[in-house]
Amino acid sequence: MGKKNILVINGPNMNMLGIRQPEIYGRATYEDLKEMISAEAEKLGVSVSFFQSNHEGALVDAVQQAYFDKVDGILINPAAYTHTSVALLDAVKAAGIPTVEIHVSDPDTREEFRRVSYIRQACVATIRGHGLQGYLEGLKLLADQ
C-alpha cells in the first residue's frame, strides 16, 4: 500500500494568518502553517498537499477534485463558509473521503452565528480551539485511519 495522500483545504482569509486578528489566530503566517504541517506529514509518513481559496466554488471544486485524485483524507478549515455553505457540506458528502473539520479558534466561544457548522455532519471529527496545533492533530487522525 502506498503513502496516504492528505489534502489540506483552507477557506477565506486563512491566507491572512499572522495579519488577521493575531489575538485570535496568532502571529504565524499561512506559509508557517504549511511548513509545520509538511514537517508533521513527513514524520507520519503521509503525503500532503495544500489548497486555499477565498471563493466558495473553488473550495467545492477542490473537494470534488480530491475524489477524482483518489485522496485518502481531507483536513478542512472552511473558515467563514463553515457557517454558511451547504455547497461544501454536499461536496464532502458526495466525495465520501474521510474529512476532519479544523478551526484555529473555538467558534463556540465566539459570536452566536459561528456556533453553526454545516459541514460538521459530513466530517469524521472536528478539532477546534487548539490553535495551529489542531491541524497536526487532524493530520494524525487521518494518517491513523
Query: What does the pLDDT profile of the chain (145 residues) look like in tens digits?
Result: 579 999 999 999 999 988 877 776 678 899 999 999 999 999 999 999 999 999 999 999 999 999 999 999 999 999 999 999 999 999 999 999 999 999 998 887 877 877 889 999 999 999 999 999 999 999 999 999 8
Q: What is the pLDDT of residue 114?
A: 79
pLDDT for 8 equals 98
Task: Say what the pTM is.
Answer: 0.93
What does the pLDDT read at residue 72?
98
Other residues' Cβ atoms within 10 Å of the Cβ of residue 45:
9
What's the pLDDT at 119?
96
Judged by DSSP in three states, 50 sits in strand
Q: What is the dihedral of CA 31, 37, 39, 42, to 10 degrees?
A: -140
The backbone torsions φ and ψ at residue 45, rounded to the nearest 5 degrees and listed phi first, read 75, 30
Residue in 25, 81, 118, 135 annotated catalytic: 25
Active site residue 103: yes
Determine which one of 81, 103, 118, 135 is catalytic: 103
pLDDT of residue 1: 57
Measured distance CA(31)–CA(16) in Å, rounded: 10
Q: Does residue 83 have an active-site annotation? A: no
